[in-house]
Amino acid sequence: MINRFLLAILFTLVPYWNAGANEVSENINLTCITNDKSMTQTIIIFANKNKEMNHRFGFVNGNVVSVDVTYANYILKHEIGPKEWNKEEKIQVTHVIDRTTGVKTETWTSKIGTEVFQGKCQLVKPKF
């Protein structure tokens, strides 16, 4: 069941999803695999930012993430945990993707510690 918050975000993003058609830039679609091959992720970074909030958004395996774009990196952030938990109880996830090499570092931070995953991302290029 999709909760109302996610549905509201999706409806907010739909105009921006198609807005890139008149612009040179396109959404960035990535497939990322950890070095040990234990995790595969699909990442979408929307080309247009929400002008009202001055933020970019995207998805990691269907989860809505905030996106910061620097000259060198894409930085994606979200949290994992039930909606009724406080922010301090949830796992804070940060993905840092090098825009030149595709090298990705994913950090999970919780009150019991930190876990770091290394991997590599590639642009999705449909074959057919």
- For 46-83, how does the pLDDT look when each residue is reduced to its tens digit (9 = 90+)? 987 666 656 789 999 989 999 999 999 999 999 999 98
Q: Who contacts 27 (Cβ-Cβ below 8 Å, separation ≥6)?
A: 17, 20, 44, 45, 46, 47
CATH 2.40.128 fits 4-123, yes or no: yes
Which of 66, 106, 114, 112 has the alpha carbon at shortest distance from 89? 112
Can you give the pLDDT at residue 71? 92
What is residue 51's predicted lDDT score, i.e. its pLDDT?
61
What's the rounded Cα separation, in Å, for the pair 42 and 60? Answer: 6
Whether residue 105 is predicted with pLDDT greater than 90 in this model: the reply is yes
Helix then strand then coil, in percent of the chain rounded to 5, is 15, 50, 35
Task: Report the Cα 124 to chain-centroid distance in Å.
Answer: 15
Domain borders along the chain are 4-123
